[in-house]
Amino acid sequence: MNASQAFILIALIALAAIALAAILNKGKGHKPFSKLAFLALILILVGMACGDGWPVGYGLMGVGVVLGVIDIAKKLNSS
């Protein structure tokens, strides 16, 4: 395992921990993930898992980030 694969593994573990914490805190007055935010998270995770084919992996991560930013903008405009 080279250094880039180790960083990807650490990032996957961190994102999984954040998702798990969000799921476990669901009933404590926090708003659940929107469908768009959940899709963004899934695309980012799949993009990280496809690290060998860099155009595919970076493309999926890019689409996930764009969807996440769109979700944030929608939430800010609706408040």
Kindly report the pTM of this predicted structure: 0.61
Q: What is the pLDDT of residues 24-70, one digit of tens each?
A: 766 666 577 889 999 998 998 888 888 666 788 888 888 999 998 99
What's the sign of the alpha-carbon dihedral 42, 72, 21, 3?
A: positive
